[in-house]
Amino acid sequence: MQKKLSLTLSILLVSVLTACGGGGGGGDGVPAPGPSAQVQGRWTTAAGSAPAYTAIGLPSSNASASIWILANDATRLVKLTAQDSGALTGKAYALGQSTSATNVIGQWSTSASKSLSLTGLPGGALTLVQTDALTAASVQADVAGAWKATVGSNAQSVSWTVAASGAVSGSSTTGCTYTGTLIAMANASAYTAAFREACSDGVSTQFNGIATLSSAKNALSMVATSADESVGAALFFSK
């Protein structure tokens, strides 16, 4: 019997992947962003690094900011929270494996040269350099249309349709269906992803994450974790 394709068991691969405040506390009662605002952007390890990583830092909120880190070979995903205090917490996932998520407790810092240093990761300390501030608002219409991901030497595929509203619907060739949303962020060049995978074996899993578009707007890279953060997934779609 053919095994069902599930994000909880498989990686879908096609290709490898703030708020402004016034000075002195912010005008109109809006506080100035804290230190965690510095993590917003796209960050990469230096050329020639092994393993190589790409990170997406999101705008800060409530004295913290989210950082998603993906190994360029899509073998590992790390979801982190950078707090204003400098503390770093989160989970690391070995993608495509049945191992449990690993807890992360460490520290983070940035430098004037636009580098981001992270400690406490399973593979040791990591230093990345900012390649894009990702401060431009994303455009909802840019993700509308039909997208497809393949896995297993093109033997299996997942097809999604994103409506103009951001509503997602889709299916896989192995009996799973997908419903959810992909919504443009107004304060970052990224999209908020929320979708449910329901497979014919009765397993249904809610995933939440982020997505970014390639500069040509024909490749969509997405990282997500299950609602209970026990499972991580990386998806790479093309038009």
Domain termination residue (choose one: 78, 112, 132): 132
- Measured between its terminal Cα atoms, the distance across the chain in Å is 31
pLDDT exceeds 90 at position 118: yes
Are 74 and 16 spatial neighbours (Cβ–Cβ below 8 Å)? yes
**Residue at 113 is within a domain:** yes
Question: Is 40 in the same domain as 71?
Answer: yes
Distance CA 198, CA 210 (A): 20
**Residue at 9 is within a domain:** no
Question: Is 59 in the same domain as 128?
Answer: yes
Q: How many CB atoms lie within 10 A of CB 44?
A: 17
Residue 29: the pLDDT is 62
Question: Is 145 in the same domain as 127?
Answer: no
Distance CA 193, CA 207 (A): 8
Residue 23: the pLDDT is 36
Tell me, what CATH number does 86's domain have? 2.40.128
What digits encode the pLDDT tens for the residues 25-82? 445 566 678 999 999 999 999 998 888 999 999 999 999 999 999 999 999 999 999 9
Integer-rounded Cα radius of gyration of the chain? 18
Question: Is 95 in the same domain as 124?
Answer: yes
Q: Which domain holds residue 95?
A: 33-132
CA angle 60–111–32, rounded 5-degree value: 35
Residue 153: the pLDDT is 58
Domain termination residue (choose one: 132, 159, 186): 132
Residue 30: the pLDDT is 61
State the average pLDDT over residues 105-119.
96
Strands 176-184 and 53-57: unpaired
Distance CA 119, CA 104 (A): 9
**Residue at 17 is within a domain:** no
Distance CA 182, CA 167 (A): 6
What digits encode the pLDDT tens for the residues 154-181? 678 899 999 999 999 999 998 999 999 9
What digits encode the pLDDT tens for the residues 74-108? 999 999 999 999 999 999 999 988 889 999 999 99
What digits encode the pLDDT tens for the residues 196-233? 999 999 999 999 999 999 999 999 999 999 999 999 99
